[in-house]
Amino acid sequence: MITHVKRAFKYRFHPTDAQAAELSRTFGCVRKVYNMALQARTEAWTLRAERINYNATSAMLTAWKKTEELAYLGDVSSVPLQQALRHLQAAFTAFFGKRAEYPRFKSKKKSRRTAEYTTSAFRFCDGKLTLAKMSEPLDIVWSRPLPEGAQPSMVTVSQDPAGRWYVSLLVEDPNVKPLPTKDTAVGVDAGRNHLLTLSTGEKITNPRHERRDRTQLARAQRELSRKANGSTNREKARRKVARIHARIADRRRDHLHKLTTRLVRENQTIVIEDLTVRNLLKNGRLARAISDAAWSEFRSMLEYKAQWYGREVIAVDRWFPSSKLCSSCGRLQGTMPLHVRTWTCDCGVTHDRDRNAAKNLLAAGLAVSACGAGVRPQRSTPGGQSATKQETPRREP
């Protein structure tokens, strides 16, 4: 049986005033239900050592709708509310599996405005999408076509801080299939001055997206700080700041998509370093540059695209001395501060720090692949433990 990859296609759309009001109500109800269910589960376990699961919170939701205070929960589609409870259940499962932190309450100002609709809560016909509780289809900007004959199994509607509306359709994509096998492999060293350095010697320039708009962003943030809390002018200033951030993020994401797609298409094996970005961000002098480089997002894109197209990504242990090891003779050097960009080994070979690191990463990754050792590190959990470490999970309330 042939199974296709499920892939989300995201599009802008422009809601009518009625649709925007309905979706805003839905976002608020989703946040309310999630927070109430989280509070109920926390109190039940803390006060009574009682276990509350998805089924129990679903029954609570039915009871909440019958109360006068929360009767407005029945005015929106019930599917996004049930999906919020499922997400909460998944969050608790991840927490007790020590893969995530304890679930947190959703903030009205900071949490993502989103709602999920399953097949029972929308109608998709002839390229028109109509959500539950709405009489008119959404005005979607079809920037690219869906796969031929695709039928969405899930629809996610969201609004970003800049006020832009998006709809994401989850469909099976028959066009995603393994690429022809290649005999090429590449080591990739991430950096700040150059975004990536490949073992082939190629250096990919760091576009520094945030730096390009830093002056404009600082000016907009100063204007925002002068506005009175709760005023209309403050909301306008906040939107202006959000639009600048969105423009930076869009450019960065577009560049990373093109870069990761190229690496996956050209190489069968890609070796990277298992960087602890969370810890690196604690360095005040480097945090802004590291965030702008988006190393974590780069790795995420690389891994899921490699899985789609039949490629292999190997992450070398973060303690591997890739920069201080001579790729020619294998001799390990002493302390090497970040400002040292070139160095000469005792064997007489002069190395570019980044190119040398990329070559060493490639050699180490191929060695791991050849011997079949299961030492490819996974990202650390928020608690600082490796995801590969097997421990007995705690009891779930």
Give catalytic residues, as residue numbers: 189, 273, 354
Which residues, 6 or more positions from 258, have their beta carbon under 8 angstroms from its beta carbon?
A: none
Query: What are the tokens at 89?
Result: 């259940």
Listed residue (28, 38, 36) closest to 101, CA to CA: 38
The one-letter amino acid code at 63 reads A
Which residues, 6 or more positions from 121, have their beta carbon under 8 angstroms from its beta carbon?
A: 77, 79, 80, 131, 132, 155
The one-letter amino acid code at 199 reads S
Which residues, 6 or more positions from 104, have their beta carbon under 8 angstroms from its beta carbon?
A: none
Check if the beta carbon of residue 204 is closer than 8 Å to that of residue 197: yes
Query: What are the tokens at 39?
Result: 């509070």
SS3 string of the chain? CCCCEEEEEEEEECCCHHHHHHHHHHHHHHHHHHHHHHHHHHHHHHHHCCCCCHHHHHHHHHHHHCCCCCHHHHHCCHHHHHHHHHHHHHHHHHHHCCCCCCCCCCCCCCCCEEEEEEHHHEEEECCEEEECCCCCCCCECCCCCCCCCCCCCEEEEEECCCCCEEEEEEEEECCCCCCCCCCCEEEEEECCCEEEEECCCCEEECCCHHHHCHHHHHHHHHHHHHCCCCCHHHHHHHHHHHHHHHHHHHHHHHHHHHHHHHHHHHCCEEEEECCCHHHHCCCCCCHHHHHHHCHHHHHHHHHHHHHHCCCEEEEECCCCCCCCECCCCCCECCCCCCCCCEEECCCCCEEEHHHHHHHHHHHHHHHHHHHCCCCCCCCECCCCCECCCCCCCCCCC
Residue with the two structure tokens 């999408």: 129
